[in-house]
Each structure stands twice: as structure tokens, then as C-alpha cells.
């Protein structure tokens, strides 16, 4: 039995020993050329001319290519509005204008300095505040999410608070930068190895840009050195640049961005400026809530419309809103086009309601836990603002259990006592929750396929469209297939993802990788297993002679009387058995197929944003986190002294991997709301474009006490083996650190004024807010 066990990550040993192969680990061919990308020196303007003569005079510079060398010149995940290479209008600093081929990779940086441009510079828009003032609207959600009577709700509210706050962007900071190697093949074909979460999109864009048919391009992805959404759409142009050079020279071409280049060129998490008005009772029950979500899309649309809509889907958080109005808009700025990032807008939406609940608690001078417990989805109040019922609701159980397991009330009393003594440091504690919808909100993406091959020695190969980017999806797929055939995971090999084996695949994103590809792999395995089951029944009934006469299996279905376990195939009713290898041999000699291909589509999902109707999500992953912080009143430094996380993951496929995903997502979310600040100058230059200037959490930033547990939930029947997705939901729980900081600062709110804490709550931000609250 492989399901529910802590099977080690299939690449764990190779990662530790350095044997794992990433794109730039591929051995360079003697004839290989290297590709450099030259970006715009200004953020906004019109490109008049490219001066590349000095670059071409450099001994190792072989050629320069511009937009004129591309057949299709624009791309985009939803709308094709972004230039692959700038033709005329420039959208942001670092936007690729041209590429060049070089015979020595160590000369790339020197050659880049030799390009100059004739550009008519224009005034850019660099902040969301500017974009709002100028109404630089790029996209607006077709309809708001409305439930109940918002006007009546406000009229019946005892108190009303209005406010706004800013949540910043975030760099993906994957360990492996954007990378691609392209190989020219026979008959004009191109084989592209890409660090991409979406091989099918990479295949399509390469084909279109080079004027090829899709069947002439194969995209292969072994693994990624991290993705987090940053390689969902934005890996494809990088592959195009490498493929263009490879096709021109008929030689292998390699493009590996440096960390600085990657951070300047690629988009980030969307910054949001959120405005709200909330009406509530003396007990803290929300009667009415109106929210405006404003997103910084950057220079182009990319995935901003879908990200904005997911923010709207999660603006209710884990809380029932009887009367609610949620609307969203995305604005154009002259920053790199923002893109998918773990949570896909969900964190920005969820943060609004968690901030509001913390403010209500401070206003009423009540415990924020009690305010949240009062407002969560419970009893018959399960209708979301977009009309979907919250089924399999575990929120009440999660809140009640974590209250006890975290010793919350005792710690709160101790914190109040500590802060009243004025030691020069403040402590705070807060709980936040997540109710994360699992499915792509674009219905057509909820599909996947799998190819399973069972070999004569009893080993298996599994191919899907899933991408292994460190999250352990290959291990889970191996467990699913091994469990189906009753064999050890050691005999299951999950193969390199390739568009020639699994076509028209969806990106590994939206926390749906294991769900979609795991279900497809299980279906493909069951096809083979059904044939073997019928064959085993015939063998046990002695209906197949030793001379292996030709026979037809007829209808083949799984049978509860035939079980596959520990490498054996057993008939329970008769007690007869034979080894799986023996059965496989019998199948082969009787010409029974030992391969299975399956297509899976998530049933029933489908939501119309124009009518605000339908089922947006297949199910919800839920969880809570209690975080405690200590704030230095003199420096604003924040330390997380403790975090307790409790998640509902259904019946986990691999508890160890899921725990790793939970802790990793939380730390990444914590970084977003505390240390990870993007800083630009007044011309649009990103100043925090390296590990020395951009601070992700390190080991010293992790909670001193860090407890993670899963609640028992066997009732989630709408996913493979009753499991639930884990990739994105815990990220949102990092918000508990930010609300704990708000709680800590409230003890110095001498003037009794509204909190204006923004995110990320860096040391400087905390110190400024603390001084403001003190009236200094």
C-alpha cells in the first residue's frame, strides 16, 4: 500500500549529491551557440533604431536578431498584446528589444554593453497610485460578486469602518533562472528543453514565432529548479529566443538568464491597492462588506484578468458574508508585466478580509479569534459571494481544535501582560484562515492525460503533462500507480514530460497538478488492471490452457474479488494467486495490451464571470494558522516566535511531502508580508534585483516554534484517493504573521486611530507605523 505513506521524494538523493539534471547541466555541444538578451534602457517610449554594429564587430558575436526575424511578433497567455521583441512601443525597463548569438558564453555580458538605441522617451507610470489617478485601466471584471442587500446591511450595522491598504508585489526567486536549450532536428523540427511549467504553451509559441506547425516542435521538461507560477507563461518567450537562434544557425542554442536579468525582465506577484467599507454589530458580526480590488498588471495583460478574478473569489476568505459587493480592476503601469504567483491572486483577496477582521477586533477591543470564529462559514451559512456552496466544511473544527492545540488563550494573556510592562519590545498573536478553491477558473484548463506502460519485468513507466518543480508531484504520481498495481514505488518511473507523449496539456499550476494528472494516471492504470483482472479470472477458472490458445477478453472491468497486492494477484473467493510477473507474461503471450492512455477532465466545474453563475471550484482546501511575533520598538525588527498550522488535506497521498509543502508555502507567504520588498527608482529601474538587495526569508526568519498538523477528513470524495491539494493554500496562512504584527502595534495605539500598516511590514514600515500610533 503506497497511498498515505511518507515515500521519499524521487529526486531527493540526486538533489543532495548534485546529480539532478537541470537545463544548464546539459552538456554543451561543440557547435553550440549562446544567446544574449538586450533589454530596453527606458521604461516608456518609442523605439526608432537599434545600433548593433559595435556588437557585431566583437569577435565572438555571430548575429543579431530583432522582431523582424519573427513570424508572429506578439504573445500573451490570454490576449496576444505583448511583443516578443520590441517593434515600436516600449513597456518597461529591461523589456527585450533584440537578441544576439555568441560563440562564447563568457562574452555575453560584454557584448550587451555595445548596443545603443535611438528611443523617443516618454513619461511612464510606475505606481498603482499613479495608474489609479490617471485611470490607466487595462481590465475590469465583467460583473461584481454580489450577495444579499448591501444597502440594507449597512443601514442595520451598528458600526461602519472604511479604509484601504496596500499589499506589495513579490519576486518568485526560484533557484533556477529562466532557461532554455533548443536543438534543430531533421525536417525542420525543433526540440526545445525549457524550464517551463507549461510545455504545451511553450511548444505553441515557439511554433508560431518561427512559422512552424505544432508537430514540428517538441517541448521537453525534466524538472524545474522552482517555479511558483513565474514559469507558467513567461518561460515561453525565453524558449522562442533560443529556438530562433537554433533555427537560424542550424546549431544548438542555449539561453540562461542570470539572476539579475531574470529579476529585471520577468513579472512579479501583482501589487494590490484595496479599498473597503464594512458594517458590523457590537459582537463583531459582519453585516455588510464592500470591497474594491485594484491590481497593478504591469505593462501587459499576461494572466492579470484571471488573477484579479481569483482575488475576487477569495476576498471572502473563510468567512460568511451575508451582504457583500466585490469588484475588481487591473491597471497598466510601466513595470514588467506581472504574472502568476503561488496563490494566483488569492492571497491579495484573502488579506483584505483578514485585515478587516483584525481592525474590527481592535475597534471593539475584543479578541480577534472570537471575531473570526463568529464570522466563519458554519451551520447553514455556506453560500459564497459567487453562489457556490461550501461543501465538506471543516472550518469550525479547525478553529476549535487549533484554539486548544496552540494554547491560544493562555498565550494571549501572557502577551497582554508582557506588553503592559513596556519592555521596549511588543508581542502580538493572531489567527488567520484559508478556504482555497481548487480548480482552474478557466474551465478548459481542467483537463489532463496520462500514458502508462507496464513492462514484462513488472516495472512501469508513467508519462503525464505534470511538471516536477520540487513539489514532489512525480513521487505522488508514482505512488498512485504503484498502489493501483500493488507494487513498490521503486518499480515505477515517472518519465520526463514531453509534448510528443502528452499533448495539449494544462500548466502545472492552480494546485491542480496532482489532482488532474494523478486522476488521469489512475484511469490509465485501471485500463491495464481491468484487462489483467479479466485474464486472471480466466486463469483461475482454468479457461486458458497451457498452449495459450487465442481468446478474447471481452468486457474487462475491475473486480473486488481480484486484488493486486505485494506483487501478487489474488482471487479472494478461491484463495488462488499468482505473481504479477507471471500474469504479465501470460498477457503478453496472449496479445493483451499492457499499455494504457487516459484523458481526464474535472467533472462539473465551470463558472461564467459574465453571469456570475456556475461551479467555480471542485472543492476547497482549508486551514488555520496561529502566529506569534515579537517587535523591537527601537528598530522595528520582527521575529516570529511561534506558528501553529492545522490543515485539512483530506486523506494525504504523502503526508511527508504535504508537510514540506505546507511549511514551505507558509514561509514564502510570511516573506511576502514581512521582508520581500520590491524597490524601484523614479525612472522605473528595479533596484532590488539580486540576492544582496532583495530579502527572502532565511533559516533565522523561520518561527522558533513551528508546529504543523493535519485534521482527519475522510469525506472528500471528489478527488483522487480522497486527497486535497496543498501547493498554494498554506501560502495564505503567512498572512497570520502580518495580522500578529498589527495586534502587537495596537498596544501602542495611544491616539486610538485606525491602523495604516501596509504589506510588506518591513522593519522600516513597522517603525514608521509604530511612531504614528504613538503620536510621535
Supply the residues annotated as catalytic: 728
Residue of 291, 484, 472, 513 lying closest to 385 (CA atoms): 291
Contact 159, 282 (CB under 8 A): yes
Contact 404, 397 (CB under 8 A): no
Q: What angle do CA 580, 582, 585 make, to 5 degrees?
A: 110
Residue of 358, 446, 421 lying closest to 735 (CA atoms): 358
As beta bridge partners, residue 99 has: 37, 65
Contact 374, 361 (CB under 8 A): no
Q: What is the dihedral of CA 741, 743, 747, 748, to 10 degrees?
A: 40
Burial class (CB in 10 A: 0-12, 13-18, 19+), 452: buried
Distances (CA, A) of 485 to 3, 153, 373, 579, 722: 12, 57, 45, 11, 18
Helix (H, G, I), strand (E, B) or coil at 668: helix
Alpha carbon distance 122, 350 (integer Å): 36
Please give the grid coordinates belonging to residue 375: 464570522
Please give the grid coordinates belonging to residue 401: 481544535
Alpha carbon distance 769, 758 (integer Å): 9
Q: What is the dihedral of CA 241, 244, 248, 254, to 10 degrees?
A: 50
Q: How far apart are the first and last CA of the chain?
A: 64
Phi/psi for 57 (5° steps) reads: -80, -15
As beta bridge partners, residue 96 has: 39
Taken in order 278, 284, 285, 287, is the CA torsion positive or negative?
negative
Contact 636, 764 (CB under 8 A): yes
Checking DSSP bridges between strand 272-280 and strand 286-298, what pairing results, if any? Answer: antiparallel
Alpha carbon distance 244, 155 (integer Å): 62
Beta strands in 394-424 (DSSP E): none
Give the largest CA-CA distance in the chain.
95
| 648 prior amide bond cis, ω within 30 | no
Residue of 485, 475, 514 lying closest to 8 (CA atoms): 475
Q: Chain-centre distance of CA 247, in angstroms? A: 33
Contact 610, 601 (CB under 8 A): no
Q: For 679, what's the count of Cα atoms within 13 Å in the CB-facing half-sphere?
A: 11
Alpha carbon distance 342, 666 (integer Å): 11
Contact 259, 691 (CB under 8 A): yes
Checking DSSP bridges between strand 606-608 and strand 217-221, what pairing results, if any? Answer: unpaired
Q: How many CB atoms lie within 10 A of CB 513?
A: 26
Alpha carbon distance 269, 672 (integer Å): 9
Q: Chain-centre distance of CA 378, in angstroms? A: 28
Contact 636, 765 (CB under 8 A): yes
Q: What angle do CA 416, 737, 667 make, to 5 degrees?
A: 145
Q: For 690, what's the count of Cα atoms within 13 Å in the CB-facing half-sphere?
A: 5
Alpha carbon distance 120, 748 (integer Å): 51
| Secondary structure percentages of the chain, helix, strand, coil, to 5 | 30, 25, 40
Burial class (CB in 10 A: 0-12, 13-18, 19+), 520: buried
Amino acid at each position: 500500500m503506497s497511498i498515505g505513506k511518507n515515500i521519499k521524494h524521487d529526486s531527493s538523493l540526486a538533489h543532495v549529491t548534485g546529480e539532478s539534471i537541470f537545463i544548464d547541466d546539459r552538456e554543451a555541444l561543440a557547435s553550440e551557440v549562446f544567446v544574449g538578451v538586450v533589454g530596453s534602457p527606458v521604461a516608456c517610449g518609442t523605439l526608432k533604431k537599434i545600433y548593433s554594429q559595435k556588437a557585431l564587430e566583437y569577435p565572438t558575436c555571430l548575429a543579431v536578431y530583432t522582431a523582424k526575424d519573427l513570424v508572429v511578433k506578439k504573445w500573451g497567455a490570454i490576449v496576444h498584446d505583448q511583443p516578443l521583441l520590441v517593434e515600436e512601443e516600449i513597456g518597461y525597463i529591461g523589456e527585450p528589444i533584440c537578441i544576439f548569438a555568441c560563440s562564447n558564453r563568457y562574452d555575453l555580458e560584454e557584448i550587451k554593453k555595445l548596443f545603443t538605441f535611438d528611443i523617443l522617451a516618454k513619461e511612464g507610470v510606475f505606481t498603482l497610485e499613479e495608474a489609479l489617478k490617471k485611470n490607466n485601466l487595462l481590465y475590469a471584471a465583467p460583473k461584481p460578486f454580489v450577495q444579499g442587500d448591501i444597502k440594507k446591511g449597512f443601514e442595520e450595522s451598528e458600526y461602519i469602518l472604511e479604509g484601504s491598504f496596500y499589499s506589495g508585489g513579490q519576486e518568485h526567486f526560484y533557484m533556477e533562472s529562466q532557461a532554455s536549450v533548443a536543438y534543430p532536428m531533421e525536417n525542420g523540427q525543433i526540440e526545445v528543453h525549457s524550464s517551463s511549467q507549461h510545455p504545451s504553451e511553450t511548444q505553441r509559441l515557439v511554433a508560431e514565432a518561427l512559422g512552424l506547425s505544432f508537430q514540428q516542435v517538441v517541448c521537453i521538461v525534466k524538472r524545474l529548479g522552482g517555479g511558483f507560477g513565474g514559469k507558467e507563461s513567461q518561460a515561453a518567450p525565453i524558449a522562442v529566443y533560443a529556438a530562433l537562434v537554433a533555427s537560424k544557425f542550424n546549431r544548438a542554442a542555449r539561453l540562461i538568464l542570470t539572476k539579475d536579468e531574470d529579476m529585471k525582465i520577468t513579472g512579479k506577484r501583482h501589487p494590490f491597492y484595496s479599498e473597503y467599507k464594512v458594517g458590523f454589530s457590537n459582537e463583531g458580526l459582519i453585516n455588510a462588506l464592500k470591497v474594491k480590488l485594484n491590481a497593478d498588471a504591469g505593462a501587459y495583460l499576461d494572466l492579470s484578468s484571471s488573477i484579479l478574478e481569483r482575488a475576487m473569489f477569495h476576498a471572502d476568505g473563510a468567512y460568511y458574508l451575508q451582504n457583500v459587493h466585490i469588484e475588481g480592476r487591473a491597471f497598466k503601469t510601466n513595470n514588467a508585466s506581472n504574472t502568476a504567483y503561488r496563490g494566483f491572486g488569492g492571497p491579495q483577496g484573502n488579506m483584505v478580509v483578514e485585515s478587516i477582521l483584525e481592525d474590527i477586533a481592535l475597534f471593539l477591543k475584543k479578541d480577534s479569534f472570537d471575531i473570526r470564529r463568529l464570522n466563519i462559514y458554519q451551520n447553514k451559512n455556506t453560500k459564497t459571494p459567487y453562489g457556490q456552496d461550501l461543501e465538506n466544511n471543516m472550518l469550525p473544527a479547525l478553529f476549535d481544535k487549533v484554539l486548544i492545540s496552540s494554547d491560544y488563550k493562555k498565550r494571549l494573556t501572557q502577551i497582554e501582560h508582557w506588553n503592559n510592562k513596556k519592555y521596549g519590545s511588543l508581542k502580538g498573536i493572531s489567527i488567520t484562515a484559508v478556504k482555497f478553491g481548487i480548480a482552474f477558473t478557466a474551465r478548459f484548463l481542467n483537463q489532463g492525460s496520462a500514458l502508462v506502460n507496464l513492462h514484462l519485468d513488472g516495472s512501469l513507466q508513467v508519462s503525464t503533462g505534470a511538471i516536477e518543480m520540487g513539489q514532489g508531484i512525480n513521487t505522488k504520481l508514482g505512488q498512485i500507480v504503484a498502489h493501483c498495481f500493488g507494487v513498490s514505488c521503486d518499480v515505477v518511473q515517472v518519465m520526463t514530460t514531453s509534448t510528443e507523449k502528452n499533448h495539449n496539456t494544462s500548466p502545472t499550476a492552480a494546485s491542480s497538478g496532482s489532482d488532474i494528472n494523478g486522476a488521469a494516471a489512475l484511469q490509465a492504470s485501471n485500463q491495464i488492471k481491468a484487462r489483467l483482472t479479466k485474464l486472471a479470472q480466466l486463469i483461475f477458472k482454468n479457461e486458458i490452457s497451457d498452449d495459450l490458445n487465442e481468446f478474447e477478453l471481452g468486457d474487462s472491468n475491475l473486480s473486488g474479488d481480484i486484488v493486486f497486492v505485494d506483487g501478487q494477484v489474488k482471487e479472494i473467493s478461491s484463495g488462488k494467486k499468482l505473481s504479477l510477473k507471471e500474469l504479465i507474461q501470460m498477457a503478453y503471450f496472449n496479445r493483451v495490451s499492457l499499455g494504457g492512455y487516459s484523458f481526464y477532465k474535472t467533472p462539473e466545474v465551470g463558472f461564467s464571470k459574465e453571469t456570475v453563475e456556475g461551479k467555480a471550484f471542485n472543492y476547497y482546501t482549508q486551514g488555520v494558522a496561529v502566529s506569534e511575533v515579537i517587535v523591537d520598538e527601537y528598530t522595528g525588527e520582527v521575529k516570529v516566535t511561534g506558528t501553529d498550522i492545522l490543515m485539512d488535506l483530506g486523506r494525504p497521498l504523502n503526508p511527508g511531502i504535504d508537510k514540506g509543502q505546507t511549511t514551505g508555502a507558509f514561509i514564502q507567504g510570511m516573506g511576502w508580508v514581512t521582508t520581500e520588498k520590491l524597490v524601484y527608482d523614479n525612472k522605473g529601474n528595479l533596484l532590488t534585483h539580486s540576492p544582496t538587495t532583495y530579502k527572502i526569508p532565511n533559516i533565522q526568519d523561520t518561527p522558533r516554534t513551528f508546529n504543523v498538523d493535519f485534521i482527519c477528513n475522510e469525506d472528500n470524495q471528489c478527488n483522487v484517493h480522497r486527497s486535497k491539494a496543498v501547493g498554494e493554500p498554506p501560502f495564505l496562512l503567512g498572512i497570520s504573521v502580518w495580522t500578529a504584527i498589527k495586534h502587537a502595534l495596537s498596544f501602542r495605539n495611544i491616539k486610538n486611530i485606525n491602523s495604516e500598516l501596509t504589506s510588506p511590514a518591513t522593519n522600516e514600515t513597522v517603525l514608521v507605523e509604530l511612531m504614528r500610533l504613538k503620536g510621535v
